[in-house]
Amino acid sequence: MRFLLLFSRQGKLRLQKWFTPMTDREKKKVIRDMMTLVLARQPRTCNFLQWRDLKIVYKRYASLYFCTGLDDQDNELLTLEVLHRYVELLDKYFGNVCELDIIFNFEKAYFILDEFLMGGEVLETSKISVGVSMEEADTLQETMEEYMSKPAY
């Protein structure tokens, strides 16, 4: 996965994540192109696009578009499910997530993403909740010693 963008139907960027190095200019170009490409798509068309040498997978959830760029060998359907899982995670955390949640707490959305994807690859394939626990465990200030003294699960 090369990048992940979240933007609204009005073309406002809500979240951006770049997994490969890119200059600011390239990023701007990608964002602009993605918005024009994806927002112009009719409903009930294919969720996959070709942009330059990248495969674009996008999905609309309510008023938000989730859009990713893939390498040639990546699996489109799987990526669609990655997006879905991310929405599930957001949902779990915010409780019936809506666009406003992501606008006002975008840094949380980033943290959840960081726990879920790392370097463009899925990090946490299992337990939905572990991501969330790691996410908020930081406020618990748990140290290694505490972890070790805990009963094994």
Partner 1 sequence: MSDVVEKTLTALPSLLSLDSQPGSAKLSSTSKLGNLVRGITELTSKHEEEKLIQRELASIKEQVSSPNTSMRQMKELMVRAIYCEMLGYEASFSYIHAIKLAQQGTALEKRVGYLAVSLFLNESHELLLLLVNTVLKDLQSTNLIEVCMALTVVSQMFPKDMIPAILPLVEEKLNHQKEIIRRKAVLALYKFYLIAPNQVQHIHNKFRKALCDKDPGVMTASLHIYLQMIQENPEGYKDLTASFVTILKQVVGGKLPMDFNYHSVPAPWLQIQLLRILSALGKNDQSTSEIMYDVLDESLRRAEMNHNITYAILYECVKCIYTIHPKSDLLEKAAKCIGNFVLSPKINLKYLGLKALTYVVQQDPKLALQHQMTIIECLDHPDLIIKRETLELLFRITNAQNVTVIVEKMLDFLRVSTDDYTTIDLVGKVAELAEKYAPDNEWFIETMNTVFSVGGDMMQPDIPNSFLKLLSEGFDSVEEDRKLRLFAVDSYVSLLQGEPGKLPQRFLQVISWVLGEYSHLRAELQPSTVMRLLSKLLDTKNTSSETKTWVLMTMTKLCEGAAGVSVAQEVSEAYSSSLDTVLRQRAQELQHLSQDSELRARVVPRDAGLEPLEVDSSLSFLDGFVSEALAAGAAPYKPPHQRQEELAQAKALSLEPYGLSLPISISSCSIADRQSPTLLSMSSGLSGDSTDLSHKGGSTTLKLDGVKRVWGKEGYLAQREPVEETAQVEVPSPFRSPSQQAEADSSHSQTPTPVPTPEPTQERQQLASSLFVGLSSQSSVCLMGKSESAPQRFKRKAKSPSSSSGASEQISNSLVSAPSTVDNLLCDNLLDANISSELAVSSPTQTSRLSQSLTTANGTCDVELTNTKGSNPSLIRDISVAVAADSTPHEDPDKPKDLCLSSHLPAELSGFSHSEITPLCSNQSLDLSACHVQQKDSLVLVVFIYNSSYSDIQQILLELDSDDLEVSGVCGSPVQEVGSQSVAVCQYSLSVKRPSVHVEVGGMVSYQLPVGTPQSAQFSYRLPLTSFIRPLTLSTEEYGTMWLAFSHDTKQNLTLINAGHESLAATLNVLKKKLQLHIVEIIGLEGIVACRLLQDQPCLMHCRVHAGTLAVWLRSPVPDLPDCLMYYCQRALQEH
**Distance, first Cα to last Cα, the chain:** 34
Residue 149 makes contact with partner 1 by CB under 8 A: no
Tell me which amino acid residue 56 is: I
Member of 29, 48, 71, 91 binding partner 1 (CB under 8 A): 48
Name which of 30, 113, 70, 27 is nearest 38 in CA terms: 30
**Residues from 107 through 126 that contact partner 1 (CB under 8 A):** 107-108, 110-111, 114, 118-119, 121-126
- Tokens standing for 106? 């975008």
**Residues from 9 through 28 that contact partner 1 (CB under 8 A):** 12-16, 19, 21-24, 28
Residue 134 makes contact with partner 1 by CB under 8 A: yes
CB contact set of 93 (below 8 Å; sequence gap of 6+):
108, 112, 132, 135
Residue 43 makes contact with partner 1 by CB under 8 A: no
Q: Which residues pair with 58 in a beta bridge?
A: 67
Closer Cβ to partner 1, 66 or 111, answer by number: 111
Binding residues for partner 1, rule CB under 8 A, total 73
**In the bound complex, what is the minimum distance in angstroms from residue 30's beta carbon to partner 1?**
13
